[in-house]
Amino acid sequence: MIETDPPLASTQEISAFLAEVERRAFKQAMFAVRDEAAALDVVQDAMLKLTEKYSQKPAAELPMLFQRILQNTIHDHFRRQKVRSTWTTLLSALGKGDEKDEDFDPLETLPAKSDSNATADPAAQLEQAQIVRLIEEALARLPPRQREAFLLRYWEELDVAETAAAMGCSEGSVKTHCSRAVAALASLLRAKGIAP
């Protein structure tokens, strides 16, 4: 019996995959970087890297590859930000620092959207939107690695091994991060009067 390699992803399959994941990827980036423009840059960079470097991979490998690229691009963003912060601090000491609105939270500007609730009662829609906002706020408070593990496992629905590969850590670490994230989210939501 001759084993054949899985078929490579076509341009249409790559385009369809990117269209499917772009909104979730943007949310993941927003939770991580908390800046709309930076999150858009991160997602666009990740998408470009996938199409430039991995377009000759089988379509089945695209989700894992993209998650790994997205997480690495987020980490690169923070490395660049740290370098920029060092230079800004040095320039500020010389009186040349720029002022920014530190209180602005672009996460608050994202509407919770769900097409499945188009005919729902307005009061129920409002309640659901408030719960989604509280969950997003709670997610934003998690430590980065816990948030990353939680989103990959429960939002992207990757299994433990896939999440470990995407995060570059052991499966045990993924389980620990997820467990702590779930406990922290449950506690934060209970404090707001929501029973998880």
Q: What would the two tokens of residue 164 be?
A: 């470990």
The pLDDT of residue 81 is above 90: no
**SS3 (DSSP) at 121:** coil
Average pLDDT estimate for 141-159: 89
pLDDT at 186: 84
In the chain, the percentage of residues whose pLDDT exceeds 70 is 78
pLDDT at 130: 82
pLDDT at 195: 65
Average pLDDT estimate for 126-149: 85
pLDDT grade, residue 73 (50/70/90)?
very high
Tokens 């307005």 locate to 122
Residue 70: Cβ within 10 Å count: 27
> Is there a contact between 42 and 33 (Cβ–Cβ < 8 Å)?
yes
The pLDDT of residue 121 is above 80: no
In the chain, the percentage of residues whose pLDDT exceeds 90 is 38
pLDDT grade, residue 86 (50/70/90)?
low
pLDDT grade, residue 192 (50/70/90)?
confident
User: Domains in the chain, ordered, with CATH?
Assistant: 1-95 (1.10.1740), 119-196 (1.10.10.10)
pLDDT at 7: 78
CA 41 to chain centre: 13
Q: What is the DSSP letter of 4?
A: -
The predicted-structure confidence for 26-72, as pLDDT tens digits, reads as follows 999 998 888 899 999 999 999 999 999 988 899 899 999 999 999 99
Residues near 106 by Cβ (< 8 Å), separated by ≥ 6? 30, 34, 35, 36, 39
**SS3 (DSSP) at 58:** strand
> Is there a contact between 167 and 181 (Cβ–Cβ < 8 Å)?
no
Mean pLDDT over each residue of the chain, to the nearest integer? 79
The pLDDT of residue 148 is above 80: yes
How many CA atoms are closer than 13 Å to the CA of 32, on its beta-carbon side?
30
Cα(112)–Cα(15) distance, rounded to whole angstroms? 25
Q: Give the ranges where the chain is alpha helix by DSSP (H).
A: 11-33, 36-53, 62-93, 122-141, 144-150, 160-167, 171-191
Cα(160)–Cα(94) distance, rounded to whole angstroms? 49
